[in-house]
């Protein structure tokens, strides 16, 4: 009974997760769905659009809960009801120190989310390039760093530095993983990099 867009995206997600980007072809996807390749183009414009949707899915969990406060536009999925203010968060407005911790938490969760999907960094890197300041976790990081006392402009620049460093790191790690090379030192290298950037 008629394929729909979600089934296409779900199947693509499954192939990416399980076999990696090299195996995520439109033809393979069609085969998995029991349909001719051309049928997919009724539901998605092209492969690039499909990958953009997958990138959104990877970073979506970052836009929920976590740092409590929801500054305008922080949550893309469900625009929070009018008077929703921070509830069980620290005082009325978080302390600078705690907000910097929020940034560390955010970039760490971003890394985990991307790292958890095979070739995730390749997919998310394109989405970041298309919309560097709109794609998560950039706006959330900018907000956290502003709360920590930075001016908005340097906060955004620092956010971009964190995101690009993270994507560079995860790209390197996932390339090594795909070749069965060791990656034991890479988590510590990531942490050191984040500390240096936020020092």
Partner DNA sequence: ACCTGAACACCGTTCAAGT
- Residue ranges in contact with DNA by CB under 7 A: 2-4, 23-28, 34-39, 41-43, 46-48
* Separation between Cα atoms, residue 40 and residue 50, nearest integer Å: 10
* Separation between Cα atoms, residue 175 and residue 189, nearest integer Å: 16
* Separation between Cα atoms, residue 167 and residue 171, nearest integer Å: 6
User: Residue 146 binds which entry of a second copy, DNA, none, with Cβ cut-offs from 5 to 8 Å by kind?
Assistant: none
**Residue closer to a second copy, measured from CB, 106 or 163:** 163
* Separation between Cα atoms, residue 114 and residue 118, nearest integer Å: 8
Q: What number of other Cβ atoms are within 10 A of residue 10's Cβ?
A: 13
Q: By the 8 A CB rule, do 148 and 100 touch?
A: yes
User: Residue 142 binds which entry of a second copy, DNA, none, with Cβ cut-offs from 5 to 8 Å by kind?
Assistant: none
**Residue closer to a second copy, measured from CB, 69 or 122:** 122
User: Residue 193 binds which entry of a second copy, DNA, none, with Cβ cut-offs from 5 to 8 Å by kind?
Assistant: a second copy
**Residue closer to a second copy, measured from CB, 13 or 165:** 165
* Positions in the binding site for a second copy (CB under 8 A): 125-126, 128-130, 132, 154, 157-158, 160-161, 163-169, 171-173, 175-176, 179, 181, 189, 192-193, 196-199
Nearest Cα to Cα of residue 173 among 119, 131, 101: 119
User: Residue 3 binds which entry of a second copy, DNA, none, with Cβ cut-offs from 5 to 8 Å by kind?
Assistant: DNA
**Residue closer to a second copy, measured from CB, 14 or 176:** 176
CB 85 to a second copy: min, Å: 32
Residue 182: is it exposed, middle or buried by C-beta count within 10 angstroms (0-12/13-18/19+)? exposed
């Amino acid at each position: 009974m008629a394929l729909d867009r979600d089934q296409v995206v779900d199947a693509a997600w499954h192939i990416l997760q399980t076999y990696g980007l090299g195996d995520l072809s439109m033809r393979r996807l069609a085969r998995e769905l029991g349909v001719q390749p051309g049928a997919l183009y009724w539901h998605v414009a092209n492969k690039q659009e499909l990958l953009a949707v997958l990138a959104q899915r990877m970073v979506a969990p970052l836009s929920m809960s976590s740092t409590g406060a929801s500054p305008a536009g922080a949550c893309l999925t469900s625009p929070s009801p009018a008077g929703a203010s921070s509830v069980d968060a620290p005082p009325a407005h978080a302390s600078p120190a705690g907000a910097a911790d929020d940034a560390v938490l955010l970039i760490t969760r971003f890394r985990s989310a991307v790292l958890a999907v095979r070739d995730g960094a390749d997919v998310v890197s394109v989405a970041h390039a298309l919309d560097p300041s709109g794609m998560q976790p950039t706006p959330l990081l900018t907000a956290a760093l502003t709360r920590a006392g930075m001016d908005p402009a340097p906060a955004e620049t620092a956010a971009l530095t964190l995101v690009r460093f993270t994507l560079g790191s995860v790209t390197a790690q996932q390339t090594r993983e795909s070749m069965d090379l060791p990656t034991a030192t890479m988590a510590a290298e990531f942490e050191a990099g984040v500390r240096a950037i936020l020092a």
